[in-house]
Amino acid sequence: GAGVSQSPSNKVTEKGKDVELRCDPISGHTALYWYRQSLGQGLEFLIYFQGNSAPDKSGLPSDRFSAERTGGSVSTLTIQRTQQEDSAVYLCASSLEGGYQPQHFGDGTRLSIL
């Protein structure tokens, strides 16, 4: 079946611009996660959505970052007023509900801030 789909696969933008990254989870998966992979910091958790519960935003690095999940499916991660340190690969994952369920990752969006 279809895996987690992310778009765009690559995004290059100028410092100060806003960007939107999209994630389409695996059908039926109620949990959705965003992570960031950068050379200096490794893989970092950003935000977690589970069903209709309030999201866990504890990993968002600043108030320039926000995310929403519409209809319990597609999610958008928005970065406002981008900075060069935002350059990274942004990964989305989804899973079935339950702490033992593995998370399945998309191929990521490589974001480059000029």
Q: Considering the complex, what minimum distance in angstroms separates the CB of residue 12 from another protein? A: 18
Closer residue to another protein, CB minimum distance, 35 or 86: 35
31-to-7, 82, 91, 104 alpha-carbon distances in Å: 19, 27, 14, 10
Q: Three-class SS of residue 88?
A: strand
Residue numbers at the binding site for another protein (CB under 8 A): 31, 33, 35, 42-43, 45, 48, 50, 56, 59, 91, 93, 99-100, 102-108
Rounded to a whole number of angstroms, the minimum distance from the CB of residue 63 to another protein is 20
Q: How far is the CB of 71 from another protein (least distance, A)?
A: 21
* CB closer to another protein out of 74 and 96: 96
Conformational region of residue 78, where left means phi above 0, alpha means psi within -120 to 50, and beta covers everything else:
beta
Q: Which two tokens stand for residue 83?
A: 């900075």
Residue 20 or 56 with smaller CB distance to another protein: 56
Instruction: Provide the 3-class DSSP secondary structure of residue 106.
Output: coil
